[in-house]
Structure 1
Amino acid sequence: MKFQNISLFFLFAISINCFGQDTNMEKKDVAKGEMMVRIAELEIDPNAINEYLNILKEEAEASVRLEPGVICIYPMYQKENPTQIRLLEIYANKAAYESHLQTSHFKKYKTSTLAMVKDLKLIDMQAIDPESMAIIFNKLKQ
């Protein structure tokens, strides 16, 4: 089934998109209370899901690799309904998020997927225990 390939994609995306960031920056911004956490809820047109995931994969990988202020972009989908995508986005601060919106890879993602996205909700979150983030990421690296 094509959604088995989607599962493998997300395991790969997790390993790329939540590792390798500078923990000194994370600790500094967490200590100052500047970290920005957001959940994006998307519904994707079922006819475009595979194309959407390919574009998302490219954008998420580039964001984490190229932007020091992008701590994590963690894409997921609902097991029961793979067209329901969720992204956990963690930025060092609001300036890093605003900078992310101006990058060529994000603009390419946004314009090329516009017709594929049936619904989008952006939910700003507040971490309950932000100090544990560095521990979580270090544990994943082991």
Structure 2
Amino acid sequence: MCQEPVVRMAELEIDPAKLEAYRALLTEEIEASLAREHGVLSLSAVSLRNNPNQIRILEVYADQDAYEAHLRTPHFLNYKRETAGMVTSLTLIDVDPIVMRAKP
């Protein structure tokens, strides 16, 4: 039986005074996740153009097991610990993919 991919959207608000430090930690975490975790298929982070402390992250995992394994990795736990005082709001939204394609 093939499990379905897990696709989530994270909406974050970051303390503007800590935005640059947050962006550096997020970049480090995304790069580590993609390099070290086979089940992390895609992580994309953007900020709203007119409100850069509003961050959106689209996360794609091979399946629920891959998502749960990601939450236990040292690099993700470090990211959560280091950014705890920077994130003023976090909303996680489960989404259903319609069309998701990327060039290799």
Q: Which TM-score bucket, shorter chain as reference?
A: over 0.9
Residue number in structure 2 paired with 1:118: 88
Residue number in structure 1 paired with 2:77: 107
Q: For structure 1, which segment, 43-52 or 32-41, has the greater mean C-alpha deviation from structure 2 after superposition?
A: 32-41
Q: Which has the larger radius of gyration?
A: 1
**Which of the two has greater strand per residue?**
2
Listed one character per residue, the Cα deviations across residues 42-91 of structure 1 (whole Å, up to 9, x for unaligned) are 00000000000000000000001100000011000000000000000000
- State the AA in 2 paired with 1:35: P
Change (3 A) 1:33 1:98: closer
Residue number in structure 2 paired with 1:77: 47
Residue number in structure 2 paired with 1:3: none
Residue number in structure 2 paired with 1:54: 24
Higher normalized contact order (CA 8 Å, seq sep 6+, divided by chain length): 2
Answering whether residue 10 of structure 2 is matched by residue 44 of structure 1, we say no
**Which of the two has greater helix per residue?**
1
Q: Distance in 1 between matches of 2:71 and 2:94?
A: 16
Q: Deviating runs (4+, > 2 A) in structure 1?
A: none
What fraction of aligned residue pairs are identical, expressed as a percent? 47
Where does structure 1 lack aligned partners over 5 or more consecutive residues? 1-28
TM-score, normalising length: structure 2: 0.95
**1:127, CA displacement in angstroms?**
1.0
**1:33, CA displacement in angstroms?**
5.3
Residue number in structure 1 paired with 2:34: 64
Q: Distance in 2 between matches of 1:42 and 1:56?
A: 12
Where does structure 2 lack aligned partners over 5 or more consecutive residues? none
TM-score, normalising length: structure 1: 0.70
